[in-house]
Structure 1
């Protein structure tokens, strides 16, 4: 019996523009095991966010198979993914006309099975779980800092206690202190809620802080999917440029010191 939460087999993604075709993924295979934090990295145009959307059932691949928690991913898109998969979008994607608490509670309200008092209570629990004080509940998104927006969006993604969490550039746009704080929060939630996490990020500090495995998208497929130290040693031009260039040196020091990423 497999313990895979996500299985992707022979996936093709082809975008058409008139008579022209752009092949983004070609015979792509990838597995996400239960309880891990798997990070997707790759150059521009390699289809990292597209792959997240396909796992969520929001986009259908041209060919191939994606199974999420034992069911075809496309069923998530048809029936709603909130109870099985949480999604943190890159810029939060909060509803500007809703308060913080209304944003967090939105997936529960859409189900229309719980009374308002229970929905509010559940949303307040998630608000505090992501490190925000109760008085933030009635604020509008326009009143929040970038870090607070990320936390509210994370609370909304977790409101249904999904076993799988997808993160698209979770620390993008945050200052170093806020980024470090958000990574600590994600590590704690991953542990305490027994989450499986798939994350797209270009930030090397975030990558090495959180990842148990890294899947590298290049040449239209996953060229390596392994522990961080093994990925860094994999011979490929993109990996050498991304991990071993000047921008990667500080993060590599963290990798040497941080046993979680070994």
Structure 2
């Protein structure tokens, strides 16, 4: 009886070394790091300050290159994304939105499509309007400037821009940073809905435990220059690594664990 072949990972990282050199010395950030990210996952990468979480995102996006080892995205070297443009294959939501301050909301969303130079203006505008409404914003926001937007609206516009080319892979850098608890909950709900509706593969860096537990289908922990643990939240929390104990089982972590097990939070 024949069986279906296992799909290749959307992202495959093998024996990754990231080394920064300067001022007569070198700093090793990653050493022999391996990681697979499968289709449809929402994988969260966590680690201490300086562990290279955002460096990994940049390497997946093709904006930075490993000193040694390989990063493959959707079957091709990630370096090709950096040269050819990643927007049609990988969407990126930057930590603070990174909207173009001189562009209106609709122009920010439409930017990648306009850069292609192959589509009629009306079609580009219509596509941008669809994405605007997809992220829960009214069409009345289309001609506002970034300076007129709340933090939550900036995140939504940035998300619409990241999705304008319908990429199969979405990268999120601290998606709820700077949001109040209510806005963060709403944005998490939006991300979860879009993940399911669009069949996205999502890679997220976050230090926010509520966001981590609300969205992740799997968690990978970067420490000691490589992945020291990966799996469900419960599996990762059970791993006896000092960083994991500090991150998950400190005061904030215990509240998060209570949430995970649907028990009342400590007061």
**Common topology (TM > 0.5):** yes
1:147 aligned to 143, 146, 152, which one? Answer: 152
- 1:31 paired with 2:36, answer yes
The gaps in structure 2 that reach 5 residues or longer are 1-5
> How far apart are 1:113 and its partner, in Å?
1.0
* From 11, 30, 53, the counterpart of 2:16: 11
Shift of 1:2: 3.5
1:61 aligns with 2:61: no
Spell out, residue by residue over 1:176-224, the C-alpha distance to the aligned partner (whole angstroms, 9 max, x if none). 0000000000000000000000000000000000001000000000111
Distance in 2, matches of 1:180 and 1:2, equals 33
Q: Does 1:215 align with 2:210?
A: no
Alignment match, 2:90:
85
Deviates more, 1:243-252 or 1:202-211: 243-252
Pairwise CA distance, 1:3: 3.3
Consecutive unaligned residues of structure 1, counting only runs of 5 or more, are none
Q: Which structure 1 residue ranges, 4+ long, deviate > 6 Å from structure 2?
A: none
In structure 1, distance between residues paired with 2:65 and 2:243: 27
What is the TM-score normalised by the length of structure 2? 0.95
Aligned to 2:50: 45
Query: Which of these residues, 170, 173, 181, is aligned with residue 175 of structure 2?
Result: 170
**1:87-236 to 2 correspondences below 5 Å:** 87-236=92-241
Count of aligned residue pairs for this structure pair: 258
Tell me how far apart the structure 2 counterparts of residues 106 and 248 of structure 1 sit (CA, whole Å): 40
- 3-state secondary structure, aligned to 2:10: strand
TM normalised by structure 1 equals 0.97
